[in-house]
Chains A and B, each alone.
Chain A
Amino acid sequence: MESYAPGSAHDALIASDGSVRQRWLPLLHQLAQLGREALVQRADEVQHLLHENGVTYNLPNDEAGSRRQWWLDPLPLVISPQEWQQLEQGLRQRSRLLAAVLKDIYGPRRMLAEGVLPADALYANPAFLLPCDQLLSEDDPGLLLHGVDLTRDARGHWRVLADRVQSPSGVGFALENRIAMARALPDLYRRAPLRRLAGFLSAQHHSLSSLSRLNFDHPTIALLAPGPGHDSHFEHAYLANYLNLALVEGSDLVVRDSRVWMRTLGGLQPVDVLLRHIGDAWSDPLELRGDSLIGVPGLLEAIRAGGVGVANPPGVGGLEHPLIAAHLPILCERLLGETLQIEGVERHWCGQPDGMAWAMAGFETLAFQSLDEGSVLISVADLSEEAASQLRQSIVAHPDRYVAQQLLEAATAPFFSRDCAELTPLSFNVRCFTQAVFDADYRFRAYETMPGGVAWQGAPGSAMRSSQCVKDVWITADQPQPHVSRLRRSRQPLVVTRDGADLPSRVADSLFWVGRYGERLEGRSRLLREALYRLLEQDQEGLADETLIDLLHLMEPDSASPDALPVEPFVAHRERLLALFQESRDGGLPMLISRMVNNCRAVRDHLGDDAWRVFNQLRQESARLPYAGIDQGRRSVETLITQLAAFFGLCNETMPHHFGWRFMDIGRFLERALATLRLLRLALIDSAHAGESLWDVVLTTTDNATAYRRRYRSELHPAAILDLLLFDEANPRSVGYMFKRLERQIERLPQPSNTPYRSDEARLLIKARSALHLADLALLARLDDDAEAKSALSELLDALTAPLERLSLAIEHSHFSHVEAPRQLVPMQAQ
């Protein structure tokens, strides 16, 4: 605190007379009481929580090492009630203004006809979408959600930097930041008379419901997202969960009869309202970008026909254009008859003589943005003399392609250093949110603001996702604020229809593969652990272990048969085992993990928070693998086994045992049965080195060594192993048990009604189970010394494996209905 020395510009913490501003005092006092050591601990805890919940922006390629972490400052940005009241009014006015502009530019275009707005604001604006003209009906509020980026200038005045109306992101981060802070610094949070965020979000549900035109009582609302490849995927999943919306992708939706439907296990289910988190131009490949694979063909027509409400409506992105921003003060006067309350940054279009004169007069001190798509703001001060003169020439040649804007001298706010040792005054941005709210009869009432937001460190206008440090935003209140539970109390009776048939088919598909890859990973990890043990023994005793060769065979699906392999020296074995830790290795652990990760991401909103936490730990553990040696590798593999067990255990305990969970379970047990059958075949038939050592591996990798010893209290005997791992229907590691479980799960999957026939997958299982039940146990008991018994076992294993291998396809065929991606009749995208 002593070293905190803001410059001449306004500072959020220290007033111009050098005193600390009143609103910070209680907070600073409490932080001081906590002491630096405790604060560092709490700050670590905050990062830890953020990371485990995984909401932060991250890159789509999922190498845990390359994921950028953002740091949440334990010191929030504090805004006083008086200050907020003013800001809030300004924000609400801005939303009303943008809604009015939206309705005008896609409606009568009065502002164009009257010469208030230059035609270029629309026709040189790539986000002004002609097919969205006249899309909104009279009573549509137009703008439902609005994000506003602000900062304070050197004089301390709030200034708007940008409006975010095309799927404004950040509400999820704001919530997440708040929850992490509240958990890590509970005293601080509880005692602060602080405005809560929950009310805003529960109102959002009501606002979205108000857009429903066909179903007023219990509209189905879905969050339309671009999918797990997108860097905001976790925010989408988080919001969907929090707001109790179905998280869907374009391919989950279809337009029929001018309505939007969701493809679910139980068939098509209507969707009444979409919270859109895909870009405007990508929303409907029929009328907008024809090459969009994430949109919903026919969506615009469904909107026109009143079959679906969409927030925000497609086309809204046109409002984000710099030419519109430049004209907001005059638009506010003309459309609302009011003065714009929060100033933006002064901007002028060079296409008008006055604007051009302003731009040229202050050229060196200004920044310029070209109207070409994707262009960035260039500050003349940052350019070389030559580049500046080039820019000037280009502006003179095409003045109508440039907007000039003033550079903002920014205020500062206190930011903690990472070791929490000192506070530094730095410039910052804040994103605030407003939403349209509706009365009980779903009539538009007003815009309200979220009392909070996200702040991030950086020059005014810098992107949130490029920032290193974010802050929670605290709006203090005069009185303590009631805590609002996240689970809203419904004003209407709850509809209990959730049998799980409304699960999107895509989600069922992903859950099935979470089960399969998760189980494959576990099996592979167990084998690898055994192999590493043996390698270590080999190193110490100098003896080549033949079992290791068999294990390698099991783990390297593409290698030659075990008999053909020569006994290789220690180094070669080590290389081969360590290769399984490498990302590029087919069938190696990192590859399996990344497949599991991809499927898990896609179903984030169906997994419990604890399962997700464990899953994130598993991902972190896996990031270490490629750099691990034998010892570290063995420990990591052990951790993976425990984490996988914890993950699936939590899934079993917390996921409703509906269809989604069943598909995951089927995936796991199908995979486990196949792996066990392979293991038994190797140990009892194929291996040239069959014997106690290998049988021991069978029991340890299935974690049945203890069970075996307790039951048989004897030397290892193949017939006893078979009894335990094949026939015993009470042992969860036996194939018999797995078949029984699969059969029960499959019986309970949704079936097309009115069919007297058993499904393919049910028949395949009956086939496999009968083969097991009809096995000649007396013959198989002589496995030790009888060639006939050996060939009978071989036949039996084949008879069990074949139907299982077809089962996966049968399930995909019956339930996942992979729809072909919609395509254009004639490719229509201009290059």
Chain B
Amino acid sequence: MRYRVRHTTRYDYASPVSLCHNEARLTPRVLPWQKIETTELTIEPRPAVVSERADFFGNRVTRFSVQEIHLALSVTASTALQTQGRPLPPSEVDKDWQSAASHAPRLPELRQFQLDSPFIMRESALRAFAISSFPPGRPLLEAVGDLNRRIFETFTYDPEFSTLATPVREVLRARRGVCQDFAHLMIGSLRSLGLAARYVSGYLETLPPPGRPRLIGADASHAWVAVHVPNWGWLEYDPTNGNLPGERHLVLGWGRDYGDVPPLKGIMNGGGVHELEVAVDVAPIGDGDEGSRQGALNGI
């Protein structure tokens, strides 16, 4: 599939901001199944300093500073990319999950995805929640798939319930949250069982209801999970939708949890209270109605 992704973040400040330093992780990663055709980051007002680097996980980070006095900041990432389906592990690598759990500590690069991270702590409650999907000897992929399905089926998607600061424990108790909470919950459950799991940040193309036109800007950032399959690699799961990510899941980057890959963060001097608008548009290229309508903006 070919897509054009436009992700706009706009801050309107109540009082002038004299200086801000920011980091954006808004450029999709290059992957075997994801090719970047063009990508551009537009920042208004124009930043005085811009630099790029790869972070610890290899994600592309754009660092910029706006040094003039401003009342609004807008950051738009615009990327054209092509995706293909992800490869699936052959059945012979799908061993029982306990051997996968004992595999991870031996590889240093996996260990960080197995331990606690700032937003995700291993807990007995998470283990207890997950364990019914993980009876001894069950093949890893079957068990993780079952956990993925259970989160999708028994949790309610509720944007009103949680904030960035809501602990995973609360999400588990209330059985509600958003994609980021479900990803954290699933990662925490897998790590509590000793498995290596990481957080994937990206986008999902949403399909309009049958017979209705696609609304521009109605999409949002999305997050899901990848679990490490020994002797093969990382396999992604999307607990918010209960499926395996495919061509419609576009990957920005990954880390231990949300804190490693926020699309945009910054520190500013001044500003007072601010209003935030985020608009994400994932448009298939060539479907005819690209850019033809101005849709509602969707705040997060």
* A residues apposed to B, CB below 8 Å: 109, 112-113, 118-120, 122-124, 130-131, 133, 254-258, 285-287, 290, 297-298, 301, 304-305, 400, 819-820, 822-828, 830-831
| Residues in B whose Cβ lies below 8 Å from that of A112 | 108
8 additional A-B pairs beyond A112-B108, A257-B49, beta carbons within 8 Å, are A123-B115, A286-B23, A298-B65, A304-B53, A400-B105, A820-B271, A828-B262, A830-B165
Measured between C-beta atoms, what is the minimum distance from B6 to chain A in Å? 20
Q: Could you show 8 A-B contacts with beta carbons less than 8 Å apart?
A: A120-B115, A130-B260, A131-B56, A255-B65, A256-B65, A286-B265, A301-B51, A400-B105
| Residues in B whose Cβ lies below 8 Å from that of A823 | 267-268, 271
State the majority secondary structure of interface residues on A.
loop
**Which residue in B111, B262, B271, B274 is a CB contact (below 8 Å) of A120?**
B111
Is B174 an interface residue when CB atoms closer than 8 A count as contact?
Answer: no
Bitwise interface map of B from 46 to 70 toward A, beta carbon under 8 Å scored 1, else 0 = 0011010101100000010101000
| Residues in B whose Cβ lies below 8 Å from that of A285 | 267
8 pairs of A and B residues whose beta carbons are closest in the complex: A119-B111, A119-B108, A830-B118, A123-B112, A297-B267, A298-B21, A825-B266, A130-B56
Contact flag A258-B269 (CB < 8 Å), given A286-B21, A286-B23, A287-B23: no
Is B119 an interface residue when CB atoms closer than 8 A count as contact?
Answer: yes
Measured between C-beta atoms, what is the minimum distance from A735 to chain B in Å? 39
**Which residue in A123, A130, A254 is a CB contact (below 8 Å) of B55?**
A130
Bitwise interface map of B from 275 to 289 toward A, beta carbon under 8 Å scored 1, else 0 = 010000000000000
Measured CA separation A258–B49 after assembly (Å): 7
Chain A residue at minimum C-beta to C-beta distance from B260: A130
Chain B residue at minimum C-beta to C-beta distance from A109: B108
**Which residue in A109, A120, A286, A826 is a CB contact (below 8 Å) of B164?**
A826
Q: Are B164 and A822 in contact (CB under 8 A)?
A: no
Is B270 an interface residue when CB atoms closer than 8 A count as contact?
Answer: yes
Measured CA separation A109–B112 after assembly (Å): 14
Q: Are B48 and A257 in contact (CB under 8 A)?
A: yes
| Residues in B whose Cβ lies below 8 Å from that of A831 | 165, 167
Contact flag A256-B164 (CB < 8 Å), given A286-B267, A822-B267: no
Q: Are B268 and A825 in contact (CB under 8 A)?
A: yes
| Residues in B whose Cβ lies below 8 Å from that of A120 | 111, 115
Measured CA separation A133–B53 after assembly (Å): 11
| Residues in B whose Cβ lies below 8 Å from that of A400 | 105
| Residues in B whose Cβ lies below 8 Å from that of A824 | 265-267
B35-89 contacts to A, CB under 8 A, are 48-49, 51, 53, 55-56, 63, 65, 67
Is B93 an interface residue when CB atoms closer than 8 A count as contact?
Answer: no
Is B22 an interface residue when CB atoms closer than 8 A count as contact?
Answer: yes
**Which residue in B67, B167, B269 is a CB contact (below 8 Å) of A257?**
B67
Measured between C-beta atoms, what is the minimum distance from A432 to chain B in Å? 33
Q: Are B67 and A827 in contact (CB under 8 A)?
A: no
Contact flag A828-B112 (CB < 8 Å), given A298-B65, A823-B271: no
Bitwise interface map of B from 240 to 252 toward A, beta carbon under 8 Å scored 1, else 0 = 0000000000000
Measured CA separation A122–B256 after assembly (Å): 14
Q: Are B269 and A820 in contact (CB under 8 A)?
A: yes
Q: Are B268 and A822 in contact (CB under 8 A)?
A: yes
Chain A residue at minimum C-beta to C-beta distance from B73: A825
| Residues in A whose Cβ lies below 8 Å from that of B137 | none
| Residues in B whose Cβ lies below 8 Å from that of A830 | 118-119, 165, 257, 259
Chain B residue at minimum C-beta to C-beta distance from A823: B268
Chain A residue at minimum C-beta to C-beta distance from B271: A823
Contact flag A286-B266 (CB < 8 Å), given A112-B108, A827-B164, A828-B164: yes
Contact flag A119-B51 (CB < 8 Å), given A822-B269, A825-B22: no
**Which residue in A254, A825, A826, A827 is a CB contact (below 8 Å) of B19?**
A254
